[in-house]
């Protein structure tokens, strides 16, 4: 029985038999602590083999995809090779938040499916080991994976985003300086500011003889800034977007011709509004503790996503056990297809509810917890009616 001898389950508690008509009925015993350890070890080994193989394959595919993207940028001179490989590693760490629960789900499905297909589960049942005992073993294994997933989601993922954004921002700022030719008019950071530079100093990261213009339509005013040097902002989630200007004049022109203002400055900082994409970057890179104090719906959605990821991991692992139920030697195509439908539906439901929280259509309570309550109800249903897709 796949390396586990049925005799091991009955060394300390031999079964008692009684005659029933022309047959013999076995009275099952409750496995002792030694038997429980054997079962846990056996189930862990069965799950670990497909888990490590599947996870390695998924990581390899993701690394290949990320490497193609970032090495292409490095070839264009937008990134150094070191930064490109570092970004590949950081993005792979972020992806593990999704890859680990997914790999666990399909690994439990494969492991339990094999036990059913080769009739090992029925041998366990005959030895007095019930389905709930296997759920308990899978739960223990899933809790370990959930702890790792929780660490990635709550701590490692924000750090990885923050580090990767800083790397990309430094590279983008340097690349934009090289790309921006003197004499071009450009729009800054998706704002209403129009920027012009007479020259570019790539080594010092500065623009020379700059001009900045913005029209304030609501107040019927126009702002004009002229300076000898300027430093444009880089996207850093821990800092506000700000452009710095040195040695120049700031003109506030009144279109109604009431009063114009002229200010001379040595150093001037202009705060720029973040675009929606930059706000998304800031939220992903924000610490979990900071998000927990925010009342912004999008921050609440991000916070709940992080702290519920371990729960999602456990529920997915447990759900795969009843979904794998099948008759001995029976085809597992229906089971796999049904499990895939359940997997996609659960992630779609969670994503829809997360979007609802971000848009304010779903409150913080129940929030994402509603999705996992529904998943728990589905798990109870599947446990009561296992193998629903194999019938």
- Percent of the chain scoring above 90 in pLDDT: 26
Q: What is the rounded CA–CA span in Å between residue 329 and residue 158?
A: 46
Average pLDDT across the chain, whole number: 78
3-state secondary structure at position 123: helix
Query: Is pLDDT at 202 greater than 90 in this prediction?
Result: no
Question: Does residue 135 carry a pLDDT above 50?
Answer: yes
* pLDDT of 220: 72
Per-residue confidence (pLDDT) for residue 70, from 0 to 100: 85
Sheet holding 194-201, edge to edge: 185-187, 194-201, 206-216, 221-231, 242-254, 261-271
DSSP per-residue string spanning 357-373: HHHTSS-TTTTTHHHHH
| Closest to 84 in 3D by CA, of 153, 2, 166, 168 | 168
Average of pLDDT values for 32-38? 69
Nearest to 286 by CA among 348, 239, 336, 350: 239
Q: Report pLDDT for 58.
A: 92
Q: What is the pLDDT of residue 156?
A: 94
Assign 16 a pLDDT band (cuts: 50, 70, 90).
very low
Query: Which of the given ranges, 70-74, 167-171, 261-265, 344-348, has the highest pLDDT on average?
Result: 344-348
For tokens 């970057």, name the residue: 281
Q: Residue 321 has which token pair?
A: 């056990």
Q: How far is CA 377 from the centre of its chain?
A: 24
pLDDT exceeds cutoff 90 at 105: yes
The Cα–Cα gap between 325 and 152 comes to 31
Element (H, E) at 198: strand 194-201
Residue 57 is predicted with a pLDDT of 94
290 within 8 A of 301, measured Cβ to Cβ: no
Cis status, amide bond into 16, omega within 30 of 0: no
On the question of pLDDT at 181 being above 60, the answer is no
pLDDT of residue 1: 43
Domain segments of the chain: what residues? 6-174+285-384, 190-273
Single out the residue of 273, 267, 218, 212 nearest to residue 241, CA to CA. 273
Residue 34 has pLDDT above 50, yes or no: yes
Write out pLDDT tens, residues 334-391: 778 888 998 999 999 999 999 999 888 888 888 889 999 999 999 998 888 765 555 5
- pLDDT category at 2 given cuts 50, 70, 90 is very low
Rounded CA separation 202/175 (Å) = 9
pLDDT band at 276 (very low <50, low <70, confident <90, very high): low
Rank 8-17, 209-218, 267-276 by mean pLDDT and report only the highest.
209-218
Q: Are 228 and 247 in contact (CB under 8 A)?
A: yes
User: Looking at residues 203-225, what average pLDDT do you find?
Assistant: 76
Of the given ranges (12-16, 187-191, 317-321, 369-373), which has the lowest mean pLDDT? 12-16
Residue 151 confidence class, pLDDT cut points 50, 70, 90: very high
In the prediction, which pLDDT does 18 show? 40
pLDDT at 27: 41
C-alpha 202/C-alpha 94 separation (Å) is: 32
Residues 129-158: what's their mean pLDDT? 91
Highest-scoring range by mean pLDDT, 26-30, 66-70, 138-142, 280-284:
138-142
The 10s digit of each residue's pLDDT in 36-85 is 788 888 888 989 999 999 999 999 999 999 888 888 877 876 677 888 88
Written as one string, the DSSP assignment of 297-350 is: HHHHHHHHHHHHHHHHHHHHHHHHHHHT---TT---HHHHHHHHHHHHHHHHHH
Which structure tokens are listed for 71? 């090495």
Q: Which residue has the higher pLDDT, 192 or 247?
A: 247
- Among residues 57, 59, 50, the alpha carbon closest in space to that of 98 is found at 59
Asked if pLDDT for residue 186 goes beyond 90, the answer is no
């Amino acid at each position: 029985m796949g390396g586990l001898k049925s005799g091991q389950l009955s060394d300390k508690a031999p079964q008692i038999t009684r005659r029933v008509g022309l047959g013999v009925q076995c009275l099952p015993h409750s496995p002792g602590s030694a038997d429980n350890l054997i079962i846990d070890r056996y189930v862990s080994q069965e799950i670990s083999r497909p888990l490590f193989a599947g996870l390695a394959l998924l990581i390899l595919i993701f690394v290949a995809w990320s490497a193609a993207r970032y090495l292409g940028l490095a070839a264009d001179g937008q990134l150094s090779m070191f930064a490109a490989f570092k970004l590949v590693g950081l993005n792979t760490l972020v992806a593990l938040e999704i890859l680990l629960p997914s790999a666990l789900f399909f690994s439990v499905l494969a492991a339990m499916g094999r036990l059913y297909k080769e009739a090992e589960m029925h041998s366990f049942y005959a030895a007095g080991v019930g389905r709930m005992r296997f759920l308990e073993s899978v739960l223990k294994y899933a809790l370990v994976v959930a702890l790792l997933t929780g660490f990635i989601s709550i701590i490692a993922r924000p750090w990885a985003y923050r580090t990767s954004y800083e790397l990309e921002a430094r590279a983008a700022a340097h690349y934009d300086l090289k790309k921006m030719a003197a004499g071009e008019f450009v729009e800054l950071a998706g704002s209403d500011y129009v920027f012009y530079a007479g020259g570019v100093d790539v080594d010092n990261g500065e623009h020379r003889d700059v001009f900045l213009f913005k029209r304030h339509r609501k107040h019927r005013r126009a702002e004009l800034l002229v300076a000898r040097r300027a430093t444009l902002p880089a996207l850093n989630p821990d800092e506000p977007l700000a452009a710095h200007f040195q040695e120049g004049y700031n003109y506030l022109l009144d279109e109604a011709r009431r009063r114009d203002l002229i200010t001379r400055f040595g150093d001037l900082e202009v705060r720029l509004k973040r675009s929606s994409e930059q706000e998304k970057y800031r939220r992903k890179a924000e610490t979990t503790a900071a998000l927990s104090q925010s009342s912004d719906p999008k921050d609440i959605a991000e916070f709940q996503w992080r702290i519920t990821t371990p729960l999602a991991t456990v529920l997915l692992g447990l759900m795969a056990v009843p979904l794998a139920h099948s008759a001995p030697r029976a085809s597992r195509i229906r089971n796999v297809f049904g499990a895939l439908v359940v997997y996609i539906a659960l992630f779609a439901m969670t994503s829809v509810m997360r979007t609802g929280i971000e848009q304010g259509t779903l409150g913080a309570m129940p929030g994402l917890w509603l999705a996992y309550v529904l998943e728990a109800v589905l798990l109870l249903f599947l446990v009561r009616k296992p193998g629903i897709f194999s019938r």
